[in-house]
Amino acid sequence: MGKALSSNAKYILFDEPTSSLTVYESQNLIKIIRKLKEEGTAVIFISHKIEAVIELCDKVSVLRDGKYVDTFDTINFN
């Protein structure tokens, strides 16, 4: 992640980034991702933790058994 941040990447992919982090570390990562979004970086966030996905993402694409199901705006999730 450090290399992507230092090189001003336009796109960053996070694949299950909070799976091995403590709660405190996860909160810090979420702050970093929010800042990246505000700066115009496109973030792809892959996670099984739906709360984090809804909190961070504008859109959600759902896969089931490796197959695409649909894409939703997170604003429609309650």
Interval 1-49: pLDDT, tens? 555 555 678 899 999 998 889 999 999 999 999 999 998 999 999 998 8
State residue 9 phi and psi, 5-degree precision: -60, 145
From the number of C-beta atoms within 10 Å of its C-beta (0-12, 13-18, 19+), residue 56 rates as middle
DSSP label at residue 75: G
> Which pLDDT value is given to residue 1?
57
- Which pLDDT belongs to residue 53? 87
Q: What's the pTM value of the predicted model, to 2 decimals?
A: 0.75
Q: Return the exposure string of 40-52: e unless at least 16 CB atoms fall within 10 Å of the residue's CB, then b.
A: ebebebebeeeeb
Q: Identify the structural domains of the chain with CATH numbers, from first to last.
A: 2-76 (3.40.50.300)
